Chain A
């Protein structure tokens, strides 16, 4: 669909609104917050993956000069909490279930004393046998992580739409294989931290670098046993989120408990090692068996997946993530008969959770390779298989997802052209190959209660500048800039004349926060509605001043005009002043809300989960060195359908940054465990891509317009993390005819696969 409107601010190449302080070092991240009398916190963590706590003696630690508080579970209400299942405690109650779990904590006047005090806490441990593999954990007789969860199963899904047996019977070609994804860490360069204060009235104020303030408030209030109003959360600048800072960990809670006991503000910042052990919750790793049935002409007739997902010791958001991995991809291609079985399993390892992609990178790693297998089996070009099956506007998935805009086919055309798919396939160089994959993501997701909305308030100041009050927050992705552009566009003022507040649960209205690629779409709509409200008040006053009809007014560049008599105008500042400084005066201020037209999925997970769906295609050209197994990505292309691009530099940054995380997921990252103990929790052994690891990239955005989006926009942030690993593995297969089935794709695994292939002859 062609763009229906032309815009003066939306889509313009504006700079990041908070960019200046970022390049001067003036941004105040969580560690840059200093409060008078502030203490330093330090956590004692479980050294065992599974162990009973017989006794804790904190007396020596408490006596150390400079120590102001030592806390254990006895200082908490021992009420379990969690995003979907309440199964974790602030500090271990009775036993610890993974290496790194918070057992006790100290607040002291300096970090040296805090560290010494932690060493003085004495714990009488009784180590217990643990479970470290999801399949082992499900066996009868395996040690139980939680006594009330038989066979360590946290959740089971078993869903069939259509008639899967008949659909496979009617398939001409059936492919089946099993793929293992891996625990990927967010590795935001800033770790999780918080600064907590406690007022004797009973109110906590917690500065956090969280990306979801109101969800944090809800969980923190529940775990501390106070009403939401008594847990005020203020967002600092956030040094990267990617899902890892969505408050599934105990950092802020431990700081709050320390602050209450010490009656002083407490700062608690994770070290990099702590961040790996027990900070952000890494990607849920899954073993996915996928079976696809095709008709001869390439149409997908049947799809079945069986997922075994590792939950780690506590649940965080893994229940929702496992559901996404099992079902979301059915919104990418058109078919009707699907079966999905999934099990989420507790183990004695760090809890897994939300990471950019939310189950999709595991699902697409498996399903997009199975589609490639099918293409080879059928002898049809993989890009044609994608074309034949691609979703379109109007498609309704077997699970009820309703697609209001979809330019997947346009993305296929763009990707094909950018990488030179046809020419390169026809002139294949030795050990060089092409691969591609399609991707789908949501623009918001209805799963935290029956709400996927946002709200915002805009104040028009008497100098004609607008301030947006929003509780969604900014975690580095650029959402605030997009919101300012949307408000400026609607109000008819310059983007330089729009500011946005820091997110603060006391001062801003309810917002769910940054997840599910939702802010541009959901929050953008709320901001636009608030601006429409403000604009109506602005025009009412201006109509009086210009002696014109309301409907004849337009605003542009900070002035209100009469249509057709453009010489007749007043500045927005003059209107705002005139509305305020008069009898019965009032400031111009307006709120707006938006709740997506989605459905809370029912007990069988049926229901349109999001207001809009984003699509994309990635393709890569790789070279594999058969002597060393080394993979070199020679070229990469990305075509994205995110509707109207509001903030081009931000959108491009999401594409480029998504690819970097996808490359790391495919080739270099992954935490390794030895009996539940992470063995590489640092940046020298856990390798995220550096500047030298990035391939040449070309990208393009589809000409697309989402009818329910603000100025036609929808989400983008996660889309380009999702398919990258499958793209690269499909290209490796095209280059040398082998597939590594478990991430990451290391040179050792490729060499082994090549040797196995030779042996088979």
Chain B
């Protein structure tokens, strides 16, 4: 069954006729062609597909398109501030927080969610907040460092 949904994606309004069972992840990637958001497991276990839905981070592989009418969605493509990298993107780059980079979009979105709520997280709080985002390359040390450095950048802005 198809339905018409209207929503905002990275600040732009979008209107689409979509099958109600189409997952938000597939809608973004295959129908709209916004491919920065990645699929790692399809079961909500790895966090690679994390996007913001109405201001909260969600696994887009677990959200059905039928729920999206009127929603506000922000993906990795909406993270930059104008032409500038967001501080969390800058520190991931500078600290080596990305190796293969496949988990990185989800990791960045979840990091932003953490820093929105808690501008000065302890290492323990970072590790707790990002525990649902799996990375197989880095061993996480440089990701933790990047989140800490981004928090400092944001606080000093």
A: residues with CB less than 8 A from B are 15-16, 18-29, 31-32, 34, 111-112, 186-191, 237-242, 271-272, 475-478, 649-650, 652-653, 655-661, 682-684, 688, 690-692, 694, 697
Contacts and interface: CB of A to CB of B under 8 A. Distances in A.
Interface in B8-59: 19, 26, 29, 33, 35-43, 45-46, 48
Nearest to A649: B96
30 contacts: A16-B93, A22-B101, A23-B90, A23-B92, A23-B97, A23-B98, A25-B36, A31-B38, A187-B134, A187-B136, A189-B134, A190-B38, A190-B100, A237-B100, A240-B136, A477-B99, A478-B99, A649-B95, A653-B99, A653-B138, A657-B136, A660-B136, A660-B138, A684-B43, A690-B131, A691-B131, A691-B143, A692-B128, A694-B127, A694-B139
A580 B103 CA distance: 44
Contacts of A682: 41, 43, 45
Interface of B: 19, 26, 29, 33, 35-43, 45-46, 48, 75-77, 79-80, 85, 89-90, 92-105, 108, 126-128, 130-144
Of the listed residues B95, B105, B143, the one surrounded by the most CB atoms of chain A closer than 10 A to its CB is B105
Contacts of B36: 24-26
Contacts of B99: 16, 240, 476-478, 653, 657
A691 B127 contact: yes
Contacts of B26: 111
A272 B41 contact: yes
Contacts of B102: 29, 188-190, 239-240, 476
Interface hub of B33, B38, B39, B139 (most chain A Cβ within 10 A) = B139
Contacts of B92: 19, 23
Report the 6 A-B pairs with minimum CB-CB distance, sorted nearest first: A25-B36, A476-B100, A239-B102, A22-B101, A656-B139, A683-B45
B140 A656 contact: yes
A189 B131 CA distance: 15
A682 B42 CA distance: 10
Given A691-B127, A691-B131, A24 B80 contact: yes
A24 B90 CA distance: 10
A443 B138 CA distance: 21
Contacts of B142: 649, 652-653, 656
A32 B37 CA distance: 10
A238 B102 CA distance: 8
* Most chain A CB inside 10 Å of its own CB: which residue of B132, B138, B141: B141
A275 to B, nearest CB: 9
Nearest to B75: A25
A682 B43 CA distance: 8
A34 B97 CA distance: 28
Given A24-B85, A477-B100, A653-B96, 17 more contacts: A23-B85, A23-B93, A24-B80, A25-B75, A25-B104, A28-B35, A31-B38, A188-B102, A189-B48, A189-B134, A237-B100, A239-B100, A272-B40, A650-B96, A690-B140, A691-B126, A691-B131
Contacts of A187: 134, 136
Pick from B93, B137, B142 the residue with the most CB of A within 10 Å.
B137
A658 B45 contact: no
Given A652-B142, A691-B131, A272 B33 contact: no
Given A189-B136, A242-B136, A22 B94 contact: no
Contacts of A18: 101
Contact of B77 (A25, A112, A240, A692): A25
B133 A683 contact: no
Q: Which of B37, B38, B131, B144 has the most CB of A within 10 A?
A: B38
Contact of A272 (B35, B42, B79, B89): B42
Contacts of A28: 35
Contact of A29 (B38, B45, B79, B140): B38
Nearest to A660: B139
A688 B136 contact: yes
B141 A694 contact: yes
A694 B141 CA distance: 8
B134 to A, nearest CB: 6
B108 to A, nearest CB: 7
B138 A19 contact: no
B98 A19 contact: yes
B93 A19 contact: yes
A25 B37 contact: yes
A26 B128 CA distance: 28
Contacts of A34: 33
Contacts of A31: 29, 35, 38-39
A25 B143 CA distance: 16
A15 B94 contact: yes
Contacts of B40: 189-191, 272, 683
B140 A694 contact: yes
B93 A15 contact: yes
Nearest to B92: A23
Contacts of A271: 42
A189 B139 contact: no
A335 B130 CA distance: 47
Given A186-B136, A656-B139, A657-B137, A27 B41 contact: no
Contacts of A20: 93
A683 B105 CA distance: 19
A139 B128 CA distance: 50
A652 B95 CA distance: 11
A683 B98 contact: no
A32 B19 CA distance: 22
A477 B104 CA distance: 14
Given A242-B136, A652-B96, A688-B134, A23 B127 contact: no
Contacts of A652: 96, 141-142
B41 A23 contact: no
A157 to B, nearest CB: 32
B116 to A, nearest CB: 18
A195 to B, nearest CB: 13
A7 to B, nearest CB: 20
Given A31-B35, A656-B142, A475 B85 contact: no
